[in-house]
């Protein structure tokens, strides 16, 4: 009587029948001809009857051999299906994924991606750390950081998700009081809101026709958080600049007004940063794919970069050039 333990014997039997030769089957299975012959003999003993009629020139299935061959084919199909299911299970994202981001990118970008991700991959647990300070990714075992600006440490793999601009904005009441603004120097005497992590002693702007213009703004208030800078702008405390994505809803709803349309302070890139030298797990690969999809989906907010490029150790690209200014800012 055959059992599951006889599956290897059935595989050898199927190979012999396929090739109509013990020698050819031995070559395929990487066994000696005598080993193949011995295994067929064992299978016939298990079945209690001959499965093959052998002569010096021919090899023919007996009636029972034909039935056993059909069984061998079914077993092979089932084992193949099982192997495919096991491969799929191994490839399915599992485990813990650690994501680091800033206090402001967390709710705007990372949270929507994580919501889709955990629904699609229920076997993965996502841990999100949101803070503006740069983290030690290696020591804290962070899988991916989503930030504005690239680290200067070339031991990381840096994926540019998009490039953002930083326009000049103000609340409608302040914008009306300032009157017509056609170029950045018209704002030299206006009250400005600064960010303590960024030097604003002198600010160089790019005009709508590509011309460069420099001013020394009058900083009336300063904060160390992009969210606080935004709140001060919304309350009309002054004029300021922030990345486009942080201003999107407020510009759309008319709570903030672009001053000097076409003028921008700088361009700054949004990156997904991963440690180099480690194998990319399925969970991380799936998260990065969803991150790119989210940026591409909400084009009005993120203005995706035309090329999704990856930079890592050995790349000819200069990391400092990727961030626009080379300034690893994390305002939003």
What CATH number is given to the structural domain containing 247? 3.40.190.290
Block residue for tokens 């991959």: 121
Same-domain check for residues 96 and 84:
no
Q: What's the rounded Cα separation, in Å, for the pair 123 and 99?
A: 16
Do both 87 and 109 map to the same domain?
A: no
Is 55 a residue whose pLDDT tops 90?
no
70, 132: one domain:
no
Q: Does pTM top 0.75 for this prediction?
A: no
Average pLDDT over residues 228-233: 94
Find the largest Cα–Cα distance for the chain: 106
Residue 221 shares a structural domain with residue 326: yes
Q: What is the pLDDT of residues 300-329, one digit of tens each?
A: 677 633 333 343 444 433 333 333 333 444
Domain boundary among 91, 121, 137: 91
* Same domain, yes or no: 109 and 153: yes
Q: Which of 22-31, 49-58, 121-130, 313-322 has the lowest mean pLDDT?
A: 313-322
CATH of the domain at 83: 1.10.10.10
Whether 155 and 293 map to the same domain: the answer is yes
Q: Among 91, 122, 155, which residue terminates a domain?
A: 91
Q: Across residues 116-134, what is the average pLDDT?
A: 88
Residues 45 and 113 placed together within one structural domain of the fold = no
CA 158 – CA 161 distance, rounded (Å): 9
Same domain, 240 and 141: yes
- Across the chain, the runs of DSSP E, i.e. the strands, are 52-54, 59-61, 95-101, 124-130, 144-148, 156-170, 191-195, 203-206, 212-215, 218-223, 240-241, 257-258, 264-275, 310-311
Query: Given pLDDT bands bounded at 50, 70 and 90, which one contains residue 220?
Result: very high
Higher pLDDT, 201 or 21: 21
End-to-end CA distance of the chain: 70
Task: Tell whether the model's pLDDT for residue 87 goes beyond 90.
Answer: no
The full length of the chain comes to: 332
Based on the fold, state whether residues 64 and 103 are members of the same structural domain. Answer: no
Model confidence at 3: pLDDT above 90: no
Same domain, 185 and 327: yes
Evaluate if residue 166 carries a pLDDT over 60.
yes
Write down the mean pLDDT value for the chain: 80
Q: Which DSSP string corresponds to 266-299? A: EEEEEEEEEESSS---HHHHHHHHHHHHHHHH-H
Q: What is the pLDDT of residue 278?
A: 67
For the cut 80, the answer to whether the pLDDT of residue 115 exceeds it is yes
pLDDT tens digits, one per residue of 173-216: 999 999 988 888 899 899 999 887 676 778 888 877 777 888 89
**Span of 103-112, 118-127, 204-213 with lowest mean pLDDT:** 204-213
Distance CA 49, CA 65 (A): 9
Domain edge (last residue) among 70, 91, 112: 91
Q: What is the mean pLDDT of residues 219-244?
A: 91
Using CA atoms of 251, 253, 257, 262 in order, give the dihedral in degrees to the nearest 10: 40
Same domain as 99, residue 244: yes
Expressed as residue numbers, the domain containing 313 is 92-332
| Cα dihedral across residues 192, 198, 202, 203: positive or negative | negative
Q: Are residues 113 and 189 in the same domain?
A: yes
Question: How many domains does the structure of the chain reveal?
Answer: 2
């Amino acid at each position: 009587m055959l059992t599951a333990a006889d599956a290897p014997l059935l595989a050898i039997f199927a190979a012999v029948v396929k090739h109509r030769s013990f020698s050819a089957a031995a070559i395929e299975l990487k066994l000696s001809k005598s080993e193949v012959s011995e295994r067929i003999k064992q299978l016939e003993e298990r079945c209690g009857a001959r499965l093959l009629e052998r002569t010096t020139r021919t090899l023919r299935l007996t009636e029972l051999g034909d039935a056993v061959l059909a069984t061998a084919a079914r077993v092979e199909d089932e084992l193949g299906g099982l192997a495919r299911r096991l491969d799929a299970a191994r490839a399915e994202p599992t485990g813990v994924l650690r994501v680091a981001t800033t206090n402001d990118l967390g709710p705007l970008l990372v949270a929507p991606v994580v919501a889709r991700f955990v629904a699609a991959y229920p076997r993965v647990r996502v841990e999100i750390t949101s803070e503006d300070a740069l983290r030690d990714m290696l020591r804290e075992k962070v899988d991916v950081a989503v930030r504005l600006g690239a680290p200067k440490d070339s031991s990381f793999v840096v994926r540019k998700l998009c490039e953002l601009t930083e326009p000049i904005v103000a609340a409608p009441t302040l914008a009306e009081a300032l009157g017509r603004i056609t170029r950045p120097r018209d704002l030299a005497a206006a009250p400005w809101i600064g960010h303590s992590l960024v030097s604003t002693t002198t600010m160089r702007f790019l005009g709508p026709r590509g011309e460069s213009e420099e001013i020394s703004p009058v900083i009336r208030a300063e904060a160390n958080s992009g969210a606080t800078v935004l709140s001060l702008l919304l309350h009309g405390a002054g004029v300021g600049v922030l990345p486009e994505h942080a201003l999107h809803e407020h510009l759309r709803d008319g709570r903030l007004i672009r001053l000097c349309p076409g003028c921008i302070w700088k361009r700054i890139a949004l990156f997904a940063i991963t440690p180099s030298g480690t194998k990319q797990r399925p969970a991380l690969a799936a998260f990065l794919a969803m991150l790119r999809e989210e940026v591409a989906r909400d084009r009005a907010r993120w203005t995706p970069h035309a090329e999704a490029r990856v930079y890592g150790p050995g790349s000819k690209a200069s990391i400092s050039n990727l961030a626009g200014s080379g300034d690893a800012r994390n305002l939003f």
